């Protein structure tokens, strides 16, 4: 079905209703995604799928702990501490160790399998059409308790990407690895501005929020540009149980507040778009084709794509010369907890910190949360 006749983000809801095709999303859920800018699909993923991802993350945490231990950065590996506490214990010995895990840009095989799973791709096809590409920005969120670096202010996902993709529909799946509810301390963990995508505009953001690398969208700017009041009717808190998925439009404003619980709020961001549209990733890494219409022989090839570390690509991206790139990468500090990148050039830097300082020294790394 040809969906190119519709504007990419500010959709005619009635037209999209007519385009509904059966799949995991019901007709009402399909409509809600385009009308509100988000939808929660309950019980979409099986427990064994997510437990496999957890095992892959446990392996990554152990590798980080071993690296820190060998370098003399920590004295205790905390090998007997559980999945939802171990990184916090490591973080107590080496502050912002969680940021190091966030910066490791090689895709774990278990995450790749989930990303290309039938359950998720069927939803992506419902929203985007039969040809699907994975976007190079995927994220493992390491939201340890009481840490500013894990608190994400109001923003639109487009604010982190090049303007070339601001009119491209990119669908994000936010997947928690525990029950994201009030009982687990998730009070307003994920808040969404209902309908904030409908004007089709990317608001003015500022950089950077507090001591972080995040851009920030003020409530005043949201109200002025999007013409949507900020109140209890428009700001929706999304509770997402284990096995359920929050799907987001890339223009809908959202935020993630501080973790006051005793558990790490592990979660994933996975993204899709149409393969023939620009991804806004500053020319650094292409999409990966995940589904192709009417091609029974199509086979997804992770081998090369998943081993390309986008953090390393981004570190080299803003240097003035090849020699400077090589020199910088040779002196790369594997325990550097700063993050910076080209999205900082998109917006006024109204607050400087160690992350923006790293930007001015031409050493940058790609990551958003």
The confidence score (pLDDT) of residue 369 equals 37
| C-alpha–C-alpha distance, residues 350 and 153, integer Å | 15
- Which residue, among 84, 183, 143, 128, has the nearest Cα to 269 in the 3D structure? 143
Beta bridge partners of 190: 256
Per-residue pLDDT 10s for the chain (369 aa) are 444 333 445 445 555 555 899 999 999 999 999 999 999 999 999 999 999 999 999 999 999 999 999 999 999 999 999 999 999 999 999 999 999 998 887 789 999 999 999 999 999 999 999 999 999 999 999 988 888 777 899 999 999 999 999 999 999 999 999 998 766 555 456 899 999 999 999 999 999 999 999 999 999 999 999 999 999 999 999 999 999 999 999 999 999 888 888 899 999 999 999 999 999 999 999 999 999 998 878 889 898 787 665 555 544 454 444 445 544 544 578 999 999 889 999 999 999 999 998 775 544 455 443
The confidence score (pLDDT) of residue 18 equals 57
For residue 337, CA distances in Å to 30, 95, 96 come to 40, 9, 6
Give the residue carrying structure tokens 């997402």: 240
The confidence score (pLDDT) of residue 364 equals 47
Secondary structure of residue 151 in the 3-state scheme: coil
- Which residue, among 71, 144, 160, has the nearest Cα to 101 in the 3D structure? 144
Domains in the chain (CATH in brackets) are 15-361 (2.60.120.620)
Q: Where in 144-300 does DSSP place strands (E)?
A: 152-155, 171-176, 190-193, 206-207, 215-216, 235-237, 245-249, 254-256, 265-273, 288-291
- Which residue, among 336, 313, 307, 339, has the nearest Cα to 325 in the 3D structure? 313
For residue 95, CA distances in Å to 126, 233, 238, 352 come to 42, 38, 30, 20
Q: Which two tokens stand for residue 197?
A: 């995508």
Name residues whose C-beta falls within 8 Å of residue 332's C-beta, 6 or more positions apart in sequence.
Answer: 315
What is this structure's pTM?
0.89
The confidence score (pLDDT) of residue 13 equals 53
Beta bridge partners of 294: none
The confidence score (pLDDT) of residue 365 equals 56
The confidence score (pLDDT) of residue 366 equals 53
The confidence score (pLDDT) of residue 2 equals 40
Q: Are 304 and 190 in contact (CB under 8 A)?
A: no
Most distant CA pair in the chain, distance = 61
CB atoms under 10 Å from CB of 368, counted, come to 19
Give the residue carrying structure tokens 């149980």: 241
The confidence score (pLDDT) of residue 180 equals 85
For residue 330, CA distances in Å to 24, 284, 316, 323, 327 come to 47, 20, 11, 11, 5
Q: Which two tokens stand for residue 118?
A: 């039938």
- Sign of the alpha-carbon dihedral angle for 20, 26, 29, 33: negative
Secondary structure of residue 307 in the 3-state scheme: helix
- Sign of the alpha-carbon dihedral angle for 120, 366, 356, 267: positive
The conformation of residue 242, written as its DSSP 8-state character, comes to T
- Which residue, among 313, 292, 267, has the nearest Cα to 134 in the 3D structure? 292
The confidence score (pLDDT) of residue 4 equals 36
Bond before 261 cis per omega within 30 degrees: no
First to last CA, the chain: 33
- Sign of the alpha-carbon dihedral angle for 91, 77, 339, 38: negative
| C-alpha–C-alpha distance, residues 28 and 62, integer Å | 43
């Amino acid at each position: 079905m040809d969906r190119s006749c519709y504007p990419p983000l500010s959709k005619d809801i009635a037209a999209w209703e007519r385009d509904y095709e059966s799949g995991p999303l019901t007709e009402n859920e399909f409509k809600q995604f385009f009308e509100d800018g988000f939808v929660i699909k309950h019980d979409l993923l099986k427990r064994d799928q997510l437990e496999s991802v957890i095992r892959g993350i446990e392996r990554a945490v152990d590798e980080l702990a071993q690296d820190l231990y060998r370098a003399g950065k920590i004295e205790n590996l905390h090998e007997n501490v559980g999945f939802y506490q171990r990184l916090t214990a490591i973080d107590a010995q080496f502050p912002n160790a969680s940021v190091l895990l966030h910066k490791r840009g090689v895709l774990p095989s278990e995450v790749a399998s989930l990303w290309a799973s039938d359950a998720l791709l069927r939803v992506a096809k419902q929203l985007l059409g039969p040809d699907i590409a994975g976007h190079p920005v995927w994220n493992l969120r390491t939201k340890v308790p009481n840490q500013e670096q894990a608190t994400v202010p109001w923003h639109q996902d487009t604010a982190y990407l090049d303007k070339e993709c601001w009119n491209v529909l990119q669908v994000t799946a936010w997947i928690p690895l525990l029950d994201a509810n009030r009982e687990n301390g998730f009070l307003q963990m994920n808040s969404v501005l209902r309908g904030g995508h409908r004007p089709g505009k990317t608001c003015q953001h500022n950089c950077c929020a507090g001591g972080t690398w995040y851009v920030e969208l003020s409530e005043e700017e949201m109200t002025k540009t999007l013409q949507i009041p900020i109140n209890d009717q428009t700001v929706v808190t999304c509770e997402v149980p284990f096995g359920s998925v929050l799907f987001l439009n890339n223009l809908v404003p959202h935020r993630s507040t501080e973790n006051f619980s005793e558990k790490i709020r592990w979660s994933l961001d996975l993204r899709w778009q149409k393969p023939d549209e620009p991804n806004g990733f500053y020319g650094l890494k292409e999409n990966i084709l995940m589904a192709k219409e009417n091609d029974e022989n199509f086979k997804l090839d992770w081998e090369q794509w998943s081993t390309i570390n986008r953090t390393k690509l981004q570190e080299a991206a803003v240097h003035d010369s090849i020699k400077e790139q090589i020199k910088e990468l040779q002196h790369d500090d594997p325990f550097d907890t700063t993050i910076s990148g080209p999205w900082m050039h998109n917006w006024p830097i109204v607050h400087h910190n160690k992350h923006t300082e790293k930007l001015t020294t031409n050493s940058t790394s790609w990551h958003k949360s």
